[in-house]
Amino acid sequence: MAASEPGSAANFLPRQRDLAHLRQAASGCQGCSLYRNATQTVFGEGPAGAKVLLVGEQPGDQEDMTGQPFVGPAGRLLERALADAGFERDEVYLTNAVKHFKWEWRGRRRLHRRPSASEVRACRPWLEAEVAAVRPSLLVCLGVTATTAVLGRAVRLKDLRASFAASPFAIDAFITIHPSALLRLPSEQDRVDEYWRLVSDLELARARVA
Ligand code: URA
Ligand code: SF4
């Protein structure tokens, strides 16, 4: 993507591309309109050298307030699933396809809205820079937005779930569901079953990098 292309995070990338410089630069990103209604940029977290880089969709309400990825209900569920799949905390870097919270008022709650394809595209330079700085062995895509962002093409999750795919990053990607999809299931039994299916997906990813 050309650095001068309008509507892209590419215009905000710093010269030094280590995680600290990237985080600092991303805090001032205006590469698409989502920064306007959000509290702050929610950059990825985790060590450079993490074996696995997990990609979610975008920050939620609590992430927007705290500035940290995956600290809300979906994040707590993901953290538990990662631990149940045998991951140590320092083996994973957590980030999102889009770094600002997109939402609308629904009563008194800020309801998440799915980012558009152009917003995902605008934000992708941050993801590319994170992948380059972390140098993981595997990218784990959580849900359809993350999978589209990583593979760079429209996908159907049910065709790809629990499989590995070559990515344009020259690093293999593994595809699973987004943890918030679990939280939306109305039946407790389905939530339990799907939780263990997510854990077993993550075990496949774990086995690949172990
Ligand atoms: N929290 C995040 O940080 N990302 C998501 O995709 C969902 C919740
Ligand atoms: Fe920049 Fe991404 Fe935020 Fe858009 S969503 S302003 S591209 S950091």
| pLDDT tens, position by position, 39-85 | 999 999 999 999 999 999 999 999 999 999 999 999 999 999 999 99
pLDDT at 5: 57
Backbone conformation region of residue 27, classed left if phi is above 0, alpha if psi is from -120 to 50, else beta: alpha
Distance 46 CA to ligand 1 centre (A): 15
Put residue 86 in one of left, alpha, beta given phi > 0 → left and psi -120 to 50 → alpha.
Answer: left
Is 47 contained in some domain? yes
Using CA atoms of 87, 88, 91, 94 in order, give the dihedral in degrees to the nearest 10. 80
Average pLDDT over residues 160-186: 97
In a domain, 115, yes or no: yes
186 part of a folded domain: yes
Range of the domain at 80: 9-209
CA of 12 to the centre of ligand 2 (A): 10
Question: CA distances (Å), 90 to each of 18, 49, 51, 94, 147, in order?
Answer: 17, 9, 9, 10, 23
Question: Is residue 3 assigned to a domain?
Answer: no
Q: State percent of the chain over pLDDT 70.
A: 97
Q: Phi, psi (5° rounding) for residue 96?
A: -135, 155
Number of the ligand closest to the Cα of 115: 2
CA-wise closest residue to 138 among 98, 101, 162, 172: 172
- DSSP code of residue 45: B
Residue at 139 is within a domain:
yes
How many structural domains does the chain have? 1
Model confidence at 114: pLDDT above 70: yes
**What one-letter code names the amino acid at 110?**
R
> Does position 3 have pLDDT exceeding 90, yes or no?
no
In this prediction, residue 119 has a pLDDT band, given cuts at 50, 70 and 90, of very high
Q: Is 59 in the pocket of ligand 1 (CB under 6 A)?
A: yes
Residue 7 pLDDT grade (very low, low, confident, very high; cuts 50, 70, 90):
confident
Q: Measured from the CA of 122, which atom of ligand 2 is nearest?
A: 7
- Ligand 1 mean position to 14 CA, how many Å? 25
Query: pTM of the entire structure?
Result: 0.96
Nearest atom of ligand 1 to the alpha carbon of 145: 6
CATH number of the domain at 192, please: 3.40.470.10
- Of residues 3 and 80, which shows the higher confidence score? 80
What is the average per-residue pLDDT within 188-199?
A: 98
Q: Is residue 194 part of a domain?
A: yes
